[in-house]
Structure 1
Amino acid sequence: MPKLLLLPGDGIGPEVTAQVRRVAEKLAPQITVDERPFGGISVDTLGTPLSDETLEAAKASDAVLMGAVGGPKWDGVPRPMRPETGLLRLRSGMQVFANLRPALCFPALADASTLKREVVEGLDIMIVRELTGGVYFGQPRGIEVLPDGQKRGVDTQVYTTSEIERVSRVAFDLARKRRNKVHSAEKSNVMETGLLWREVVTALHAREYPDVELIHILADNAAMQIVKNPRQFDVLVTDNLFGDVLSDEAAQLTGSLGMLPSAAIGAPGMPGLYEPIHGSAPDIAGKGVANPLAAILSFEMALRWSFGLHDLAGRLSAAVTAALDGGARTPDLGGKLTTAQMGDAVLAGI
């Protein structure tokens, strides 16, 4: 039987993944659902943010869906014990190098965005973020004390040709199934890795994807264009750091971070990693008001990308649309539904 591993994590993670379990049990009972501790809760119970057993369970699954990790409780622990370190290790261990982050504006939520309806209505962007390289993984890194007593922090941005090529192929292949346009964002004007990124993407495009429109854009200009004219973008490919920032910016165009799913994919035969792009939101954790739709839509992506159950994915997407069209709203969208009630609304449409 196909296997889904849930890693609820911290904060609102357990609340939103509980709704994913409800949806999975009703929509796809043929999928076996397992659950393991991960993140801060794993630090508290197992002494590590990601145990070896959990990582092996992840690699033995067909798909992994996590909630969120981290919170003020673990801010002071040593970096190797930070929940976020467990997340980086999970991504690296699963070899998921391409993070797919759609920014899709549901018609019923066009007025929920902070931008005007005419700017965001019909928005459909796919951001492809390189996930296992760049400044988050580069060495050397650390904080050192200088002879004069000052401290110096060092992070290293590193990319190789093969790392850039493999994530760019994902972007070009996606564009061929969409509107056939790729924006590649970097800072080639001031960064050597940005210059290499542009050179590699240009060469790959000429060699393998000449039919796809390629537009190079500096990452800071991309940030401006996302709020100025977001519908000009189809697929946007970029590195780990810029992808982290730009995808969160694009998410806000849709009305709420609580609406945006993501998928991380890698080598053939390896399971995908799926997660809502919102954080653990400790300020609302335990109140039962978190929006579960990003987590539920992450499961929708898992049905497509990892399980190959496209019909079920379509049914789930339609159920979410129907719930929103019917006025279902959690507080982040201006409504009053609880997390469980929003789950009820989706289940009613399945």
Structure 2
Amino acid sequence: MLIGEIFDEFISVIHENQKYVIGIINENKEVTLCSDKNLLGNTIDFNRPDKNNVFFEVNVKGQEFGYLWVNGYDDSLQMIGNLLHESLTVRLMFEINQANLNRKITKDDELVKCLLNEKDFDIKRIIDLMDDLGLNKDKTRVAIYMISSRGDVKTQDVARLKMNPDSQQIIYSLLNDRCLLVYKDIPDKLKQKEEIEEYIQKYIHNLIDWDFHDFYYFVGSVQHKLRQYVSSYQHCLWLKNNVKYEKNVPIFFEKYVTEYFLSKIDVKDVDCVYNYYIDKGKEIDFEELTEISEALLNNDFNLTQAAESLFLHKNTLIYKLKKLEEIFQIDIRGSFQGKILLILISHAVKEQSNKVQVGD
């Protein structure tokens, strides 16, 4: 909003009391704005106040807007002038802050577009944008992909986040009406995964308290290099497409790294090696195979804990593993390689089962 528009609001106040005339005088002592249009263009010396004319320099955040002139014929003129000057200054400060905030949001959007552009990654432009926004390029950050389940995310909501004192090193960008991408900075003192997760959990809980509830939260991988920021975002997308989620419960990529790498393996390669055994092993319960493999993986192949999670006796689990060892000709219990192969076979079987279900 320009000063002229703000000044119009003051004119409406003055009209309630015709005893006062207010105006804006530029450095050439020319009246540029005035409640009395007949005085526009007149020359008035702001260096010569008297009992009927008071002047106040209007300088807000280094921007000069000329001099506020207040004319009147009563003993309250100085007090009225002070009040108008203070009110005008506060209003201008608000508009300047809002304009700067909107500019930063726009710059944030441009920065994120550059960061996600793998094909034409312009590191110079990225650093220039970060410098302009006052962002430390050497900060460690993590992508948080937020999806609203209740309606559109408004620009003013993002602006409200940006105004938070803790947001100085955070990057925000509305990817579309419902999706907000945040690159949250991580304090240098946090080194352990558990510490970082706790820190992010607290931040997301604050977001929920700030009315960003009914959102799905996906937390990507922690990254230190600008070129890898896109990977953190891509890991958020992988979580969205591969993991069950619910509102207001953050999903952390770090907890699904094994599943992520398994998803990158071409199941055809596994099938080519073990298809013969799978076809011959008609007695295999593939659903049970998947459940056993996941239980072993989640419990670091501790047979006792895996059996408990499956509600099986340990000896029963051992019997089932022996059966799988015979079918696939691998040593699951005594060999690290056998454990890996079991997980790969289970993953391949699960993927094939999913394809059958969707008719692929």
**One fold, TM greater than 0.5?**
no
Instruction: Give the number of the structure whose alpha-carbon radius of gyration is greater.
Output: 2
Which category describes the TM-score, using the shorter chain as reference length? under 0.3
